[in-house]
């Protein structure tokens, strides 16, 4: 019944449904990229360098004559992969830290939360830049580094939920029946604490995509010839006056994707607790 109520509230939110449809469309584009892309995204043809949008190349070509539409389509795979793997890692770490801190409290909570506060003192993007600069730029390093530097919000959310839930009657009843700490955490507390985590994870995907694009734009992310929206924007920066399409179209792809996940996350948040709408 709760799922039906959630879906009924979510479905009434037109902006949330728009976000869901756009996110679903991104998944389809990413999955069917080999069939949707009209050209090989790495195919170089210097004779067709920096061609404007036309019937042959709908979104134009880059300085090496590669089709921009094909590179944007394949770049969606990179963005979604980075977004979901990085957020998955961050959520996993945050769940463990927040659950342990919230359940045991005392000095355990004090130590873990002070570590969280310490991590929050460092600007995340500059911390990512510092770590990436020491490592070989690659998609896997980016995913791991983003995940390892963005779990603190999840930890604080889960801790707050656990501090509230562990005093409830159903937890006391399970404890009285002899349930172990691990069973209490996994079977009784964690499922009831997942609602805000879901919202945070959805919004976190948008943040991870933005971070990956920024790193690739700076040359510290996904390395050419692998297409990503960030490194397409780099080519656009270098040819802004003569090739506007290199900046416009990948920028729109990033904008639409991030907006879609934000709309979806806000829709989930309002469907879970309609009181938050105001």
Q: What is the pLDDT of residue 1?
A: 45
* Range list of H helices, the chain: 2-12, 14-31, 33-36, 68-104, 106-121, 124-134, 139-148, 152-165, 169-176, 181-183, 194-217, 229-238, 245-272
How many Å apart are CA 233 and CA 255, to the nearest integer?
13
CB 20 within 8 A of CB 268: no
How many Å apart are CA 5 and CA 58, to the nearest integer?
43
Average pLDDT over residues 121-147: 82
Q: What is the pLDDT of residue 222?
A: 82
How many Å apart are CA 162 and CA 99, to the nearest integer?
7
**Domain segments of the chain as ranges:** 2-34+65-277
Q: Which residues on neighbouring strands pair with residue 61, listed in sequence order?
A: 67
How many Å apart are CA 123 and CA 131, to the nearest integer?
12
How many Å apart are CA 232 and CA 76, to the nearest integer?
12
CB 170 within 8 A of CB 137: no
Look at residue 217 and tell me whether its pLDDT is greater than 50.
yes
DSSP 250: H
Q: What is the pLDDT of residue 7?
A: 83
Nearest to 204 by CA among 146, 163, 164: 146
How many Å apart are CA 224 and CA 74, to the nearest integer?
13
Look at residue 85 and tell me whether its pLDDT is greater than 60.
yes
Q: What is the pLDDT of residue 6?
A: 80
Nearest to 206 by CA among 74, 79, 32, 20: 79
Half-sphere exposure of 106 (CA within 13 A, CB side): 4
Q: What is the pTM of this model?
A: 0.88
pLDDT class of 274 with cuts at 50, 70, 90: low
Task: Report pLDDT digits (tens) over 3-38.
Answer: 788 888 888 889 999 999 999 999 999 999 999 999
User: 2-34+65-277 belongs to which CATH class?
Assistant: mainly alpha
Task: Report pLDDT digits (tens) over 160-198.
Answer: 999 888 888 888 888 888 888 888 888 888 888 888 898
CB 216 within 8 A of CB 230: yes
Quick one: CA torsion of 141, 145, 147, 148, rounded to 10 degrees?
Answer: 140
């Amino acid at each position: 019944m709760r799922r039906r109520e959630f879906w009924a509230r979510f479905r009434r939110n037109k902006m949330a449904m728009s976000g869901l449809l756009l996110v679903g469309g991104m998944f389809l584009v990413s999955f069917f990229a080999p069939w949707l892309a009209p050209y090989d995204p790495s195919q170089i043809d210097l004779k067709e360098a920096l061609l404007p949008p036309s019937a042959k190349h709908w979104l134009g070509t880059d300085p090496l004559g590669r089709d921009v539409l094909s590179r944007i389509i394949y770049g969606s795979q990179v963005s979604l992969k980075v977004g979901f793997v990085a957020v998955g890692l961050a959520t996993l770490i945050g769940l463990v830290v927040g659950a342990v801190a919230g359940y045991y409290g005392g000095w355990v909570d004090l130590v873990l939360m002070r570590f969280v506060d310490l991590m929050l003192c460092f600007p995340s993007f500059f911390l990512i830049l510092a770590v990436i600069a020491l490592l070989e730029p690659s998609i896997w390093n980016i995913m791991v580094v983003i995940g390892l530097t963005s779990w603190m919000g999840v930890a604080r959310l889960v801790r707050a939920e656990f501090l509230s839930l562990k005093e409830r009657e159903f937890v006391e009843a399970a404890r009285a029946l002899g349930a172990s700490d691990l069973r209490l955490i996994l079977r009784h507390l964690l499922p009831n604490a997942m609602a805000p985590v879901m919202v945070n994870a959805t919004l976190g995907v948008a943040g991870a995509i933005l971070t990956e694009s920024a790193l690739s734009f700076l040359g510290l992310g996904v390395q050419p010839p692998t297409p990503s929206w960030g490194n397409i924007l780099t080519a656009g920066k270098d040819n802004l006056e003569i090739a506007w399409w290199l900046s416009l179209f990948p920028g729109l792809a990033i904008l639409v994707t991030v907006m879609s996940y934000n709309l979806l996350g806000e829709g989930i948040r309002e469907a879970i607790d309609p009181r938050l709408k105001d």
